[in-house]
Amino acid sequence: MEMDEARDRTVLSMRPPVRKKFFREKRRVTFGTIQIPELSRRLIGDILEMARISSGKYVRQFEERFADLLGVKEAVAVSSGTDADILALAVLHDFGAKRGDEVILPALSFVATGNAVVHAGFKPVFVDIDRKTLNIDISQIEGAITEKTRAIMPVHLMGKPADMDVINAIARRHGLYVIEDAAEAHGAMYKGKPVGTLSDLAAFSLYVAHIITTGEGGIVTTNREEFAEILRSLRSHGRACKCKRCTLNTASAYCQKRFHGNGGEDIRFVFERVGYSSKMNEIEAAIGLGNIENYLDIVEKRRHNLLYVLDRFNRFSPYLTTIHEEPHERIGPHAIPIIFQEGASFTRAELTHYLEENGVETRTLFASMPTQCAGFAYLGYQPGQFPNAEYIGKHGIHIGVHQDLGLEEMEYVLDVLGRFLETR
- pLDDT band, very low/low/confident/very high, at 26 (cuts 50, 70, 90): confident
Q: Are 224 and 364 contained in the same domain?
A: no
The pLDDT of residue 17 is above 60: no
Kindly indicate the confidence band of residue 270, based on its pLDDT and cuts at 50, 70 and 90.
confident
Q: What pairing do the DSSP bridges indicate for beta strands 123-127 and 102-106?
A: parallel
Beta strands in 149-227 (DSSP E): 149-152, 177-181, 189-190, 193-194, 201-205, 218-222
Ranges of beta strands (E only) in 207-353 are 218-222, 320-321, 329-330, 335-340
**Residue from 414, 407, 366 nearest 390 by CA:** 366
State residue 12 phi and psi, 5-degree precision.
-65, -40
Partners of residue 221 on adjacent β-strands? 75, 202
Tell me how far CA of residue 193 lies from CA of 28, 162, 165, 168, in angstroms: 35, 13, 12, 14
Q: How many domains does the chain have?
A: 2
Among the residue ranges 118-122, 243-247, 373-377, the one predicted with the least confidence is: 243-247
pLDDT-based confidence at 253, cuts 50/70/90? low
**What digits encode the pLDDT tens for the residues 75-118?**
999 999 999 999 999 999 999 999 999 999 999 999 999 999 99
In a shared domain, residues 300 and 283: no
Residues of the chain above pLDDT 70, percent:
89
Assign residue 382 a region (left: φ > 0; alpha: ψ between -120 and 50; beta: otherwise). beta
Task: Assess whether 53 and 196 both reside in one domain.
Answer: yes
Check whether 128 has a pLDDT greater than 60: yes
Closest CA to 167 of 187, 191, 183, 186: 191
Domain final residue, candidates 247, 276, 291: 291
**Residue 21 pLDDT exceeds 60:** no
Cβ atoms within 10 Å, residue 198: 22
* Arithmetic mean of pLDDT, 53-82: 96
pLDDT computed for residue 16 by the predictor: 43
Sign of CA dihedral 259, 262, 264, 269: negative
Pair 226, 309 in one domain: no
Report the pLDDT averaged over residues 342-362: 95
What's the pLDDT at 249?
Answer: 59
Predicted local confidence at residue 424, as pLDDT: 81
Q: How confident is the model at residue 258 (pLDDT cuts 50, 70, 90)?
A: low
- Residue 393: which pLDDT band, with cuts at 50, 70 and 90? very high
Q: Per-residue pLDDT for 11 more than 60? A: no
CATH of the domain at 311: 3.90.1150.10
User: Which pLDDT tens digit goes with each residue over 153-167?
Assistant: 999 999 999 999 999
Task: Say if residue 301 is in the same domain as residue 230.
Answer: no
The letter for the amino acid at 3 is: M
Whole-structure pTM over 0.75, yes or no?
A: yes
Tell me the H-state helices in 102-174. Answer: 112-119, 164-174
| Residue-number span of the structural domain to which 342 is assigned | 5-33+295-422
The reply to whether 141 and 153 lie within a common domain is yes
Q: Is the pLDDT of residue 240 over 70?
A: yes
Residue 208 has pLDDT above 60, yes or no: yes
Percent of the chain with pLDDT over 90: 82
One domain for residues 182 and 305: no
Q: Sorting pLDDT into bands at 50, 70 and 90, what band is 269?
A: confident
Report the SS3 class of residue 155: strand
Pick 272 or 147 by higher pLDDT: 147
50 or 331, which is more confident: 331
**Does 332 lie in the same domain as 248?**
no
> What is the CATH number for 200?
3.40.640.10
Taking residue 284's Cβ as centre, other Cβ atoms within 10 Å add up to 25
Q: How confident is the model at residue 257 (pLDDT cuts 50, 70, 90)?
A: low
Q: Do both 53 and 194 map to the same domain? A: yes
Among candidate residues 245, 265, 291, the one where a domain is terminated: 291
The backbone torsions φ and ψ at residue 26, rounded to the nearest 5 degrees and listed phi first, read: -70, 135
Mean pLDDT computed over 337-350: 94
DSSP state of 158: G
Q: How confident is the model over 412-421, as pLDDT tens digits?
A: 999 999 999 9
Chosen domain end from 276, 291, 306: 291
What pLDDT is attached to residue 3?
Answer: 43
Pair (226, 335) in one structural domain:
no
Q: Write down the mean pLDDT value for the chain.
A: 91
Looking at the fold, whether 229 and 316 belong to one and the same domain comes out as: no
pLDDT, tens digit, for every residue of 274-310? 999 999 999 999 999 999 999 999 999 999 999 999 9
> With 50 as the cut, is the pLDDT of residue 13 above it?
no
* End-to-end C-alpha distance for the chain, whole angstroms: 44
pLDDT, tens only, 141-192: 999 999 999 999 999 999 999 999 999 999 999 999 999 999 999 999 999 9
> Is 248 in the same domain as 391?
no
